[in-house]
Amino acid sequence: MWFCPRCEEHRPATKKISLIASQVPRVLVIHLRRFNANGEKVQTVVEFPVSQFHLNCEGTSPSYSLVSIIRHHGSSVSRGHYTCVSKCSDMTWREMDDSSVTTCAPDGSDPDAYILFYKLMNE
């Protein structure tokens, strides 16, 4: 929900990011706003593409693929634990949690997703 300063009410909202085709990054980093102004965790489930997706830019359609997810487990900025889910060179997904590494499979719907890393595929 977004607070509208004009009507002073919370309203559903979406955010659009525009990129210029000549300035498309090799690695697209998406940092999700997971904490409110009080430092409490926002529990909204975020859906994101795991396989390739295309951006719509002027004159081109660059393709990106998810390569890593930083996850935050906990209830606030000051209380929590971070883990990483990454696609390894053998194309398997693994979750790294301190000294343990386990095989996993991200499904594109994660309440703990905090930062998403996408790699440009069509260079």
pLDDT of 94 = 95
Q: What percent of the chain has pLDDT over 70?
A: 91
59 pLDDT exceeds 70?
Answer: no
Give per-residue pLDDT as tens, 17-53.
Answer: 666 667 788 898 998 888 888 888 888 888 888 888 8
How many alpha carbons lie under 13 Å from residue 46 in its C-beta half-sphere? 20
Give per-residue pLDDT as tens, 95-105.
Answer: 999 889 999 98
Q: What is the mean pLDDT of residues 74-81?
A: 84
pLDDT of 122 = 67
- According to DSSP, the residues that pair with 9 across neighbouring strands are 4
56 or 87, greater pLDDT: 87
